[in-house]
Amino acid sequence: MSERAVAGPQAAGAGLAIPADTVARLDAAGLDPAQVISLVAAALAEDLAGGADVTTAATVPPGRRGQAGLIARSAGTVAGLPVAALAFHLVPGGEHVTIAYQAADGDRLSPGQQVLTVAGPVRAILTAERTALNLLCHLSGVATLTRQFADAVAGTQARIRDTRKTMPGLRALQKYAVRCGGGVNHRMSLSDAALVKDNHVAAAGSVGAAFAAVRREAPGLPVEVECDTLEQVAEALEAGADLILLDNFAVPDMAAAVALTAGRAKLEASGRITIDSARAIAETGVDYLAVGALTHSAPVLDIGLDLLE
């Protein structure tokens, strides 16, 4: 198996080279392999707490080899397969683990569908099991919820977009999972783009003043302005906003904002959007639906690991 060394802490498997296929899959996903390795290593270190997996050590003979399947228990959209694979490579004995993929991130899963086969030392497989599943089930849950929203607005011009309401340390992975589910990403950080919110407007004195101040400070960045009323939408348009966030607008007011804007800026609906309300909002003609729940409230997708005979 070809391998590639990647810088970064690697938990109990420090110094191990990561299989090139795993690194390539992370690269293709738009993820920083070293950053993901560091995160998975920290998760494994937390689980081992400087010691060993005492249950596995007591019940599994040292030389035993075997296979295990990661199997979907319920329907959904999978995300994070190469992230889960890392967990099996980074535990003690993980250098002897091989991974076979039966699915790709973004695939829709049926109950009973196997997504990965893990082969190698059984001790390594069982020690990494919970860390791998914690990450895979969570990211697949984000992708599944995103897919449900994306399906709800299919056929309209609207796209489902995430927010910065992410778990600390998991933003890149959660936003990747949103992409796997058919959504698109908002800014990754406070420095990527400007978002003038109500408190900024209050501090600056008006929508126009806040927009002008940001434009002076960061002339090359796109600027989005949060508006609470149609009057503020008109002010934001006059100021030259690239994108306008319609905060808690009623559906008829969203339609009025679309007519008022007439294509001069992109419009993003925000505020307690649900699966049930998404279609009506999308049909007003807005460009994006911002859904914080994608990352802060997605239920996990049930995926389990079973040792195979």
Exposure string over 33-56, b if 16+ CB within 10 A, otherwise e: beebbbbbbebbbebbeeeebeee
User: Is 64 among the catalytic positions?
Assistant: no
Residues 6 or more apart from 251 whose CB is under 8 A from it?
280, 281, 284
Distance CA 275, CA 77 (A): 16
Closest CA to 70 of 288, 307, 276, 230: 307
The C-alpha angle with vertex 120 and arms to 116 and 126, in degrees rounded to 5, equals 75
Contact predicate 224/243, CB 8 Å: yes
226 part of the active site: yes
CA 28 from chain centre, in angstroms, equals 15
Nearest to 8 by CA among 48, 41, 43, 30: 41
32 is catalytic: no
Active site residue 27: no
Main-chain dihedrals φ then ψ at residue 243, nearest 5 degrees: -145, 140
Cα distances from 16 to residues 5, 26, 32, 128, in angstroms, run 7, 17, 17, 15
Catalytic residue of the set 65, 73, 197, 215? 197
- Is residue 247 flagged as an active site residue? yes
- Candidates 65, 73, 108, 165; catalytic one: 165
The active-site residue, picked from 95, 105, 226, 287, is 226
Confirm if 66 and 307 have CB atoms less than 8 A apart: yes
Ramachandran region, residue 106 (left: φ > 0; alpha: ψ -120 to 50; beta: rest): left
State the catalytic residue, choosing from 198, 228, 242, 247. 247
Which of 65, 73, 108, 130 is catalytic? The answer is 130
Contact 121, 97 (CB under 8 A): yes
User: What positions carry a catalytic annotation?
Assistant: 130, 165, 197, 226, 247
